[in-house]
Amino acid sequence: MSLISSFPIMSSSCNPAQNTIDWTALRSDFPLLSQQAHNKQLAYLDNAATTQKPNAVIEAIAHYYRVDNANVHRGVYELSERATQSYEATRNKVQNFLNAWSREEIIFVRGATEAINLVAQSYARPALKPGDEILISAMEHHSNIVPWQMVCKKTGAQLAIIPINDSAEIMLERYQQLLNEKTRLVAVTHVSNALGSINPVQQMITMAHEKEIPVLLDGAQAAAHLSVDVQALDCDFYTFSSHKAYGPTGVGVLYGKKRHLDAMEPYQGGGDMISSVRFEHTEYNSLPYKFEAGTPNIAGVVGFGAALDYLSAVGFDNIVQREQQLLDYATLKLQAISGLHIIGRAKNKASIISFVLDCAHSHDISTILDHQGVAIRAGHHCAMPVMERFNVPATARASMAFYNNEADIDQLVRGLAQVFKLFS
């Protein structure tokens, strides 16, 4: 596609292992980042909430509406065929991105939240009986807690919680003990949105599979920051959102092993998910369409495809290396500040730093930083049990993407100096 031909990577796209990326040029691919906030250069450090979009994504969406817009899987005319092709091309890209065995295992949904709800309603709910257990961790986002609670309420099953240690790491010995004959599913986050911990999911999946327990991974914070191979992981379900991976909002992915998806009843009924409808009986469509009722977010999926192309061109070796550099730099700078405490000190961390100050509440920190041009998140990060675990009402959270730079972090540190000036 010509849309990414302006991609600024020099020699790296053919050999991503060589870190020859011009990160400054790459940042200019993201038009939003060049703006000012409160008369200061914007330092956008809320990438765990959503990422900014490169021109390639914005242009792909505009191009779709300007040139290719028609409904998919329906019209017998060129325009509809082109729309269908663009939409389905993204499915192939997701398949490659996750290294799924088949494109039929890729279901488009609205986001990671909807993907988890789909599994909860279509996979877990019909199978669960009173006394059964779903095992989640103490560091889950609300979207990997509440759908299971809803299913438990309907079925009489129960949630069991894998505890985390003071460094915000899964306690694997406790996990081993909690895997028992009542456990029907393990649902854990790949990377914690509030703490940054990268969980030992490969090991956790092996441990669960030894007892024939399936595993769902919430990859919302992982997919754009680590290389994910669902066949190597052998996870049963994997979920993530486009908008946290440089694509548009309103699109997400449920990956499921074909044998699970085949056995599951559809989550929603409507057009596109059927092969024949009579008032007496409806035959469902084959995978993946069985789970995609109604006209999908076509433009969003097309834009998401452009985001995946962009990510592949940068390459995960480069992304991981750059984001670890930024994490190390930010950790050094922040931990040197007296009266600042980092919450979440896992050995294996993604580029997310949650912190609290002795002198100021995270909301006050965020307001003052905003006036210094620094956008961070303050609050419980939709992970209230995590806040409880670490005995804090809320945290401030800086989360970095590969387009951030050391200057953004310096701006954060200077902004924090203003907070100290005001509050201590």
Partner 1 sequence: MNEELRALYQEVIIDHGRHPRNFKKLEEPSCCQEGYNPLCGDRLTLYLKVDHNKIIDASFEGVGCAISMASTSLMIERIKNIPIIEAQQLFEAFHLLVTEPSPTVKTLEYLGKLTVLGGVRDFPTRIKCATLGWHALKAGLDNAASEQRVSTE
Find, among 181, 179, 225, the residue nearest to 203 by Cα: 179
Cβ at position 67, least distance to partner 1 in Å: 39
Chain-centroid distance of CA 199 in Å reads 14
Positions that interact with partner 1 (CB under 8 A): 38, 360-364, 367-368, 371, 378-380, 384, 387, 393-394, 418, 421-423
256 — phi, psi (to 5°)?
-140, 145
14 is catalytic: no
Four-CA torsion 60, 65, 71, 76, nearest 10 degrees: -90
Q: Which C-beta is closer to partner 1: that of 256 or that of 385? A: 385
Q: Look-up: residue for tokens 């009579």? A: 278
Kindly list the distances between the CA atom of residue 417 and the CA atoms of 353, 361, 423, in Å, as whole numbers in the listed order: 17, 14, 10
Chain-centroid distance of CA 88 in Å reads 21
Cβ at position 302, least distance to partner 1 in Å: 33
The dihedral of CA 387, 389, 391, 395: what is its sign? negative
Please identify which of the residues 14, 152, 359, 382 carries the catalytic annotation. 382
Cβ at position 117, least distance to partner 1 in Å: 20
Cβ at position 409, least distance to partner 1 in Å: 21
Cβ at position 74, least distance to partner 1 in Å: 42
Q: How far apart are CA 205 and CA 219, in angstroms?
A: 14
132-154 burial string, b = 16+ CB within 10 Å, else e?
Answer: bbbbbbbbbbebbbbbbbebbee
Cβ at position 97, least distance to partner 1 in Å: 34
Q: How far apart are CA 213 and CA 384, in angstroms?
A: 27
Task: Name the E strands within 27-129.
Answer: 36-37, 40-41, 43-44, 106-109
Strand 106-109 versus strand 252-256 pairing type: antiparallel
Catalytic residues: 382
